[in-house]
Chain A
Amino acid sequence: MDFSSLIIIMMSAVLVNNFVLIQFLGICPFLGVSKKLDSAIGMGLAVLFVMMIASAATWPIYALLLAPNGLGYLQTIVFIVIIAALVQLVEITMKRFMPALYKNLGIFLPLMTTNCAVFAATLLNVSAQYNYAEAMTNAFGAGAGFLLAMVIFAGIREHTENADPPACIKGLPLALFSVAILAMAFMGFGGVVENLFG
């Protein structure tokens, strides 16, 4: 394992295979919480944080417990239970010891259990056969990419608030068209990461 392969994994997850824009993961919170910049940042940070700790916990359990004992088929159940438990734990700990942070991220935490981006990150770590360092890098990149897309999209939505679309376009369709344009802008990065760091 060398350092450049980690950078490739991370930057690919941020730019080229962006979770929301290219892989369609975490669309619901992406569309729902991006109306205001503050909540977009809060949601993005919560996803990043939970993605990291979920990957930190699920990878060893899969590699050390499930896989060696031929229990790979339990992956779906075990992972979702771990994520649910972790989210509870984080919520309680944060409330108790970091009230300031809890005030900002608290309302987003319960949603992480059923956030498909978080669950998907843990599954992808296993299916891509990453080692522990690669898995953590991938989780960080995926979360950072989600946060980046979320923040940019919140800016666009503040702009399109002034838009005056026909009634049938207002709301969800307009948001979807905006995401499409943003996703195309990200497609220009194809190849950049591999060629730059490879």
Chain B
Amino acid sequence: MNPVTVSYAPHIHNHASTSHIMRDVLIALSPALAGSVLIFGMRAAVVIFMCVASAVVFEWGYQKIMKKQETISDLSACVTGLLLAFNLPVDIPLWQAVFGSGVAIILVKQFFGGIGKNFANPALTARVVMLISFPTAMSTWAEVPNAVSSATPLELVQTGALQYMPSNLDLFLGLHGGSLGETSELALIIGGVYLIARRVITWHIPVSFIGTVYILTAILGEQPTVQLLAGGLFIGAIFMATDYPTSPQTNSGRLIFGLGCGLLTVIIRVWGNYPEGVSFAILFMNCIVPFINKLTMHHALGGKKA
């Protein structure tokens, strides 16, 4: 076997650089963390704690049993656990939350060789697994103070119960039914701006993803502002779709990726059985990232076309 490992950029060389990135992501997620506890109460904190703790324990336990180098200090398991919790309803049974963490860390991440080797985003895939496995629990939403109905705004759109729709300001602040971390766009945008300023992510995926959803829903005669603020679009576009190993490496590739995510999100939201399409859209695009990379990769001058 070839001892030299060739991988695409960004080359994450060591522990230190990974943990720096992950620390920035955790900082960027903290406004949403505060928001979710403020909106949904203490049970939100319990769910978040269970997800993060079990993700770290799964990672540590797996690496112990498999006699692999321990990597929990790179904080990536914390990020995965936190992102998963942000995608769950507040009343989710805790064993299901722990099951989700196990799927994310072991099945999607460690089985594929650990950090940087997985082709699908762990937290996102775990959410899809849970959506398929526990359809009732994953769509049972708690009452939110201030909001008229506990249904998510997208469910209100799907069922046509628009009289219960919160105001745009409430949508933006997150005072409506939904998953823990997805409701407050204000908190998510603060985190996104921080990540872009720190150069952890680039603007390409979030902007093309969100922009595509806005333009397409406007063309289709939906309410584009509601479509933007109602579901998991911002958390998906800023935190899930921008994950390094599962998104394209070139900026033009990122634009295509965001465009595809937006297109599929709108298709599933408008015509599909599921009210929300962000997770399925990103997961599908994760699967075709190798082709986007091939299409947009720059070839060195004089180099042979791959």
Interface, chain A (partner B; CB < 8 A): 152, 155-156, 158-160, 162-166, 169, 173-174, 177-178, 181-182, 184-192, 195-196
| Interchain nearest-CB distance for B173 vs A (Å) | 29
**CB atoms of B274 and A164 under 8 A apart:** no
Closest to B286 in A: A185
Question: B242 contacts the other chain (Cβ, under 8 Å)?
Answer: no
**CB atoms of B112 and A185 under 8 A apart:** no
**CB atoms of B119 and A159 under 8 A apart:** yes
Interface centre among A163, A185, A190 (most CB of B within 10 A): A185
Binary A-proximity of B248-279 (CB < 8 A = 1, otherwise 0): 00000000000000001001100111100101
**CB atoms of B271 and A188 under 8 A apart:** no
**CB atoms of A177 and B272 under 8 A apart:** no
In the complex, 23 of the A-B residue pairs with CB atoms within 8 angstroms, ordered by the A residue number, are A152-B287, A152-B288, A152-B291, A155-B287, A155-B290, A155-B291, A159-B289, A160-B119, A162-B7, A163-B113, A164-B113, A165-B111, A169-B111, A174-B111, A186-B284, A187-B280, A188-B264, A188-B274, A188-B281, A190-B274, A192-B267, A192-B268, A192-B272
Contacts of A152 in B (CB 8 A): 287-288, 291
**CB atoms of B112 and A174 under 8 A apart:** yes
| Interchain nearest-CB distance for A103 vs B (Å) | 22
Question: B169 contacts the other chain (Cβ, under 8 Å)?
Answer: no
Q: How far is the CA of A155 from the CA of B295 in the complex (A)?
A: 12
The answer to whether A165 and B112 touch (CB under 8 A), given A156-B119, A188-B280, A196-B271, is yes
**CB atoms of B119 and A166 under 8 A apart:** no
| Residue from B107, B271, B286, B287 in contact with A177 in the complex, judged by beta carbons closer than 8 Å | B107
Contacts of B55 in A (CB 8 A): none
The answer to whether A181 and B274 touch (CB under 8 A), given A152-B288, A155-B288, A159-B290, is no
Question: B117 contacts the other chain (Cβ, under 8 Å)?
Answer: yes
Interface centre among B7, B118, B271, B289 (most CB of A within 10 A): B271
Q: How far is the CA of A181 from the CA of B120 in the complex (A)?
A: 8
| Interchain nearest-CB distance for B236 vs A (Å) | 13
Question: B114 contacts the other chain (Cβ, under 8 Å)?
Answer: yes
Q: How far is the CA of A77 from the CA of B52 in the complex (A)?
A: 57
| Residue from B264, B267, B273, B283 in contact with A181 in the complex, judged by beta carbons closer than 8 Å | B283
Provide the main secondary structure of the chain A interface: helix
Query: Could you list 20 further interchain pairs (A-B, Cβ under 8 angstroms) beyond the known A165-B111, A174-B111, A189-B268?
Result: A155-B289, A158-B290, A159-B119, A162-B113, A164-B114, A166-B111, A173-B111, A177-B111, A181-B108, A181-B119, A184-B132, A185-B128, A185-B287, A187-B128, A188-B274, A188-B277, A189-B280, A192-B268, A195-B271, A196-B271
| Band of interface residues on B | 35 or more
**CB atoms of A185 and B273 under 8 A apart:** no
Interface, chain B (partner A; CB < 8 A): 5, 7, 66, 107-108, 111-114, 117-120, 125, 128-129, 132, 264, 267-268, 271-274, 277, 279-281, 283-284, 286-291, 294
**CB atoms of A185 and B272 under 8 A apart:** no
**CB atoms of A181 and B287 under 8 A apart:** yes
| Interchain nearest-CB distance for B290 vs A (Å) | 4
Contacts of B107 in A (CB 8 A): 177
Q: How far is the CA of A174 from the CA of B277 in the complex (A)?
A: 27
Contacts of B66 in A (CB 8 A): 166
**CB atoms of B272 and A190 under 8 A apart:** yes
**CB atoms of B125 and A184 under 8 A apart:** yes
**CB atoms of B290 and A188 under 8 A apart:** no
| Residue from B112, B119, B283, B289 in contact with A188 in the complex, judged by beta carbons closer than 8 Å | B283
Contacts of A163 in B (CB 8 A): 112-113, 117-118
| Interchain nearest-CB distance for A37 vs B (Å) | 9
| Interchain nearest-CB distance for A74 vs B (Å) | 40
- Top 3 A-B pairs ranked by shortest CB distance? A188-B280, A191-B273, A155-B290
Q: How far is the CA of A159 from the CA of B107 in the complex (A)?
A: 16
Q: How far is the CA of A185 from the CA of B120 in the complex (A)?
A: 10
